[in-house]
Structure 1
Amino acid sequence: MIHAPRHAALAREVMAQAVAPMPLPGFGRGAAPESTTIVLATSPRAFSAATGGRTPEWAGGVAMPYERTIVIPAYPVPGVDRRQADATLRHEIVHLVLHERLPGTIPRWFDEGYAEVASGSWNADEAWALRVAFMLGRAPPLDSLELAWPAGEGQARLAYLLSATMVDHLRRRAGERGFQLLLHNWRRLGTLDASIRETFAMTPGQLEDEWKKAVRSRYGWMQMGANVGAVWGVALLLALVAWIPRRRRNRARVAEMEREYHMLPPPREDGVNVEYPLAEDDDER
């Protein structure tokens, strides 16, 4: 543990959490690997220096599996409370556990998605946004995440959501025993792609298509409406505010046109050929 003297109490809390076993889907339980180094960065500059300067400002923690090192901020991060900070630490620990227990290269989407699910970082209620992303054509394919993880916070959140829902789909599809078998086959065969073919008798591309359909079905319009109901309510209110005065103006204009239609013709100066709707004689009624 590397920390400033003033962060000694925080360091003890972090260490206690790091060595406490936590549930790991498909593996049982696990904790931070032995000889793991955790750095408590004292400032954004120290955080950037410890991570090589390649970490976006919004990142709440970084794991470097091949160095068995985790860097987390010891300073307040805007918008991050204690529970989120604890979940972030678990997220980074999971990265180290995965790279210790699985052979070969771990696809980025699985690495991040598994860490999100195992750490409890992801919120399933937000998955409706993924359906919208599919509709708008803004959801990148999973293999594109292997080439470059988005640097912008908004796109990165979508990438985390993509990855977490895919790992969640694998667990739901196979059940806990099936998911355990997937990881077992991965260790035996050496790659995730080979394990998918062995475990599910399908290609990774077919699995991705199945996952997209599951997202559209599972996170449908009802959930979307429940999550954005307040937004639509505000939009409806604004529409009414704009529509009511316009409707009143239109009604006033129609009334004015009706009055003009029934208006008596102006009298001519010579009084010729002017027909007014005179009152009927009592004899003609």
Structure 2
Amino acid sequence: MTRSCRRSSAALGLRLAALLCLALVAAPGRVVGAAPRVYDAPAATGDGGAAAPVPPPPPEYHTQDLDWIEFAYHPSTRDRVRPLIARADAVRAELGTLLGREALVAPVKVRIAASLAELDGLIPGGIAGPATAVSFGALRLAVLSDAPRLGVEAPDLESAFRHALAHLALDEATGGALVPRWFHEGFAGHAAGDGVARRAQRLSVAALRGGLLPLDALEANLPGAGGTAGSLAHAQAADVVRFLVEGERRPLFARALDQVRAGAPLAGALEAAYASTGREIELAWRADVARRYGFVPVLAGSLLVVGLLVAGRLAVRRFRARRSPPPPAPRRRLRAAREAAEMRQRTVRPSTAQLVATLGARHRSEADGDTDVPKVEHNGQWHTLH
């Protein structure tokens, strides 16, 4: 009896496990769809998978509607929000250029809080994690905070605004399809221009050291929600998107997004659009990184060092020239040599008076052998004094 009970329990457990597996296979979207969207662009859904309603802004908030975008912001942030309102159309146009289609066609809402404590009231269900900017593609909603997290420098509100709109635009272009997190973050980071100088520095160091991450490892190396956007994985993700949309490859990027919207996975869509395997795309990107962030910085650094050495040498020469008189020119040296020779000749050569006196004395001695008798010259004649 005991053995039969044990067998029945084991059989029941196997059946339950089988049913669980069948349930997971029958509903993959719900299980798989939750994990990739744990970042600053989550799929905001309420109970039962339905989109949660957007809560109205607090009554003290100011609002401004530009037809396609509605701003609601705390009065204390007015001076920092006004430039965003003025540049909203330009940001939308830039996103449309990157995506190869009109961006943000459906209206979007932007909420800007003055402190992190206000974010929970602006986000459906509250905010999970320490993020200061969150986008909800299904709700067409972007929520930003003008205040920094504890221990973090104040956010660049314009960069965060661009970043949030980029998430919304990509969700719209793909029809809300699930794409890898690194691709979503990479597109938003490239579109917003997040830390371009710091990103180039990280990629340059990684390229020179051979420490670039494989593309299939970007997802696992991205920080969690609210993590730093200055990581190497973030830098690589943004630069991969930069490579995919650069120059003649931009239409191919738009074609890949069309295939993702039609239901194709991102990897397959990229391979079909770019007519290359994933490995070939990665190798092409790595070669581009080596040229852009490897060879060019080394060449620029070498030229800078050479320029500094030449400038230092010229500076030393000028300093020495100021301390010592400049050497005379060739003509001046020849003229000075002639004048010095003439001076020497003048000092050695006797004068005309000396020559006349010498010749006169010699003539007198020859005309009169008695040199001891005094003589005097008068009218050209010599007379002996007696």
TM-score (norm 1): 0.62
Contact 2:174 2:258 in 1 (8 A): no
- Give the alignment partner of residue 258 of structure 2, picking from 165, 184, 193: 184
Question: What does residue range 36-75 of structure 1 map to in structure 2 within 5 Å?
Answer: 36-47=108-119, 50=123, 52-56=127-131, 61-75=133-147
1 CA distance for matches of 2:302 and 2:238? 21
Counterpart residue identity of residue 100, structure 1: E
Provide the residue aligned with 2:182 in structure 1: 109
2 CA distance for matches of 1:202 and 1:42? 47
- Give the alignment partner of residue 100 of structure 1, picking from 142, 164, 172: 172
1:169-214, Cα deviation, whole Å (9 max, x unpaired):
1123743333333333433453322222212222223322332232
Structure 2 runs not aligned, ≥5 long: 1-70, 305-386
Provide the residue aligned with 1:90 in structure 2: 162
- Give the alignment partner of residue 23 of structure 1, picking from 91, 94, 97: 94
SS in 2 for 1:37: strand
2 CA distance for matches of 1:183 and 1:13? 31
Provide the residue aligned with 1:158 in structure 2: 232
Specify whether residues 116 and 228 from structure 1 end up closer, same or farther in structure 2 by C-alpha distance, changes over 3 A only: farther
Structure 1 runs not aligned, ≥5 long: 231-285
Counterpart residue identity of residue 116, structure 1: G
Specify whether residues 2 and 161 from structure 1 end up closer, same or farther in structure 2 by C-alpha distance, changes over 3 A only: same
Larger Rg, first or second structure (1 or 2): 2
1:103-158, Cα deviation, whole Å (9 max, x unpaired):
42122222122222223335267424224235556544333343563148667432
1 CA distance for matches of 2:279 and 2:195? 24
Provide the residue aligned with 1:121 in structure 2: 194
Specify whether residues 188 and 16 from structure 1 end up closer, same or farther in structure 2 by C-alpha distance, changes over 3 A only: same
Specify whether residues 169 and 144 from structure 1 end up closer, same or farther in structure 2 by C-alpha distance, changes over 3 A only: same
1:67, distance to aligned residue in structure 2 (A): 3.1
2 CA distance for matches of 1:150 and 1:125? 17
SS in 1 for 2:283: helix
Provide the residue aligned with 1:4 in structure 2: 74
Percent identity, aligned pairs only, is 26
1:99, distance to aligned residue in structure 2 (A): 0.3
1:233-262, Cα deviation, whole Å (9 max, x unpaired):
xxxxxxxxxxxxxxxxxxxxxxxxxxxxxx
For this pair of structures, how many residues does the alignment match? 225
SS in 2 for 1:121: coil
2 CA distance for matches of 1:209 and 1:91? 28
Question: What does residue range 249-264 of structure 1 map to in structure 2 within 5 Å?
Answer: none
Question: What does residue range 142-221 of structure 1 map to in structure 2 within 5 Å?
Answer: 142-147=215-220, 149-151=222-224, 156-172=230-246, 174-188=248-262, 190-221=264-295
Provide the residue aligned with 1:244 in structure 2: none
2 CA distance for matches of 1:188 and 1:173? 25
1 CA distance for matches of 2:222 and 2:211? 15
Contact 2:144 2:161 in 1 (8 A): yes
Contact 1:23 1:29 in 2 (8 A): no
2 CA distance for matches of 1:183 and 1:156? 26
- RMSD, matched Cα: 3.7
User: Which range is displaced more, 86-95 or 212-221?
Assistant: 212-221
1:15, distance to aligned residue in structure 2 (A): 4.4
Counterpart residue identity of residue 169, structure 2: V
SS in 2 for 1:190: coil
Specify whether residues 3 and 227 from structure 1 end up closer, same or farther in structure 2 by C-alpha distance, changes over 3 A only: farther
SS in 2 for 1:54: coil
1:167, distance to aligned residue in structure 2 (A): 1.0
2 CA distance for matches of 1:228 and 1:66? 51
1 CA distance for matches of 2:198 and 2:302? 11
Counterpart residue identity of residue 197, structure 1: E
Specify whether residues 154 and 91 from structure 1 end up closer, same or farther in structure 2 by C-alpha distance, changes over 3 A only: closer
